[in-house]
Homo-oligomer: A and B are copies of this chain.
Amino acid sequence: MPPALNIVPFVSVDHMMRLVLAVGIERFLTELAGFIEEDFRRWSAFDKTPRIASHSPDGVIELMPTSDGTTYGFKYVNGHPKNVRAGRQTVAAFGVLADVGNGYPMLLTEMTILTALRTAATSALAGKYLAPPGARTMALIGNGAQAEFQALAFRALVGVDRLRLYDIDPAATEKCVRNLAGLGFDLRRCASVAAAVEGAEIVTTVTADRQNATILTDNLVGAGLHINGVGGDCPGKTELHPDVLLRCAIFVEYAPQSRIEGEIQQLPPDHPVTELWEVITGRAPGRRDAGQTTLFDSVGFAVEDFSALRYVREKLRTHPFYADLDLLADPDEPRDLFGMLLRAGAGPGRD
């Protein structure tokens, strides 16, 4: 039987949750990080188009395409900080994987949950290469939607099992403690950023401030720390004081994008940074010694979404959590689109 050319597998939010739970969250994060690592190793194969942003007073809508020459992927994602007030996600996303050879989509999936997972997987992948060896304690500054994913990814990939939590809103910390309780972490609620950072080998900042904020000041950052800066991810939105940056060896995903969107937007455009793929492939060193302070200045790059789409497609082979979507017109004769339309009216009763 010929394949149904018009059908595209669709992973709904419900299907994604069931897929993640069926695989297991930590295993999902670990395998996803493996796909990201694999794609970072073949960095030069990717089309690195800048994301296409449509800005408005309330937020931004972005399209993030990339391709490895065989497969094409893109993500639709918004960023609207005020959404929370109306019970909406600040960031919602969906994505598509397509065949470069014929241009047909081969997967459509929710990506709000998947983006949270790929962001955490990328952070932990960077942590694996950059954090002090044997690190077990992580400060988690900002206990919102991304926090628990970061925690589980750092445990799965780096071995972190002690968390020092702080959020400007204690309710967020409580939510985080509630969700992580019973998952085997040593959890500490901290009263300030300074208290959270104390004794931590890794500091993850994942706050949602829009304006340039200073979550971490220079005096809080001890030598040898690894900072995982996740919350600063668009122009005008940063979390670290410039003095902190000047003391760190800085690692980014894709420098041209990070210089606009990342913490390093605060630095001169020629400030030296290393792209993570260079560390992964051994082209550039990662952490040099125990005294070096490292920063992964994460903004999220299209290749990570590509890896995530690729991973989900792979998992669907054994976990069929998808529906068939009648997305593409498929006339018997490709030139007869109009005839297909006409015959739809003459066909048997449909409802």
Question: Which residues in A have some Cβ–Cβ distance to B below 8 Å?
Answer: 2, 5-6, 10, 12-14, 17-18, 20-21, 25, 47, 49, 52, 54, 56, 58-61, 63, 65, 67, 69, 72, 74, 76, 78-80, 82-84, 86-90, 92, 94, 96, 98, 100-105, 110, 112-113, 116, 144-149, 172, 175, 178-179, 325-331, 333-342, 344-345, 350
Contact = CB atoms under 8 A, between A and B. Distances in A.
10 contacts: A56-B100, A58-B100, A58-B101, A78-B102, A78-B104, A83-B102, A83-B334, A89-B328, A175-B339, A179-B338
Contacts of A345: 17, 21
Contact of A105 (B89, B94, B149): B94
A102 B344 contact: no
Given A56-B101, A103-B59, A105-B76, A84 B336 contact: no
Contact of A17 (B65, B84, B102, B341): B341
A144 to B, nearest CB: 4
A341 B92 contact: no
Contact of A83 (B60, B103, B327): B103
Q: Which of A69, A76, A342 has the most CB of B within 10 A?
A: A76
A170 to B, nearest CB: 13
A54 B58 contact: no
A60 B98 CA distance: 11
B84 A104 contact: no
B87 A334 contact: yes
Nearest to A147: B338
B337 A112 contact: yes
Nearest to A347: B17
Nearest to A142: B335
B102 A59 contact: yes
Given A18-B344, A113-B337, A330 B78 contact: no
Given A63-B63, A88-B5, A94-B105, A49 B56 contact: no
Nearest to A116: B337
A27 B87 CA distance: 40
Given A61-B98, A335-B144, A341-B113, A326 B12 contact: yes
A104 B88 contact: yes
Nearest to A167: B335
A299 to B, nearest CB: 18
Given A175-B335, A334-B90, A103 B17 contact: no
Contacts of A89: 328-331, 334, 337
Contact of A333 (B49, B175, B325): B175
A338 B88 contact: no
Nearest to A83: B102
A347 B180 CA distance: 18
A88 B339 CA distance: 15
A337 B326 CA distance: 29
A334 B80 CA distance: 12
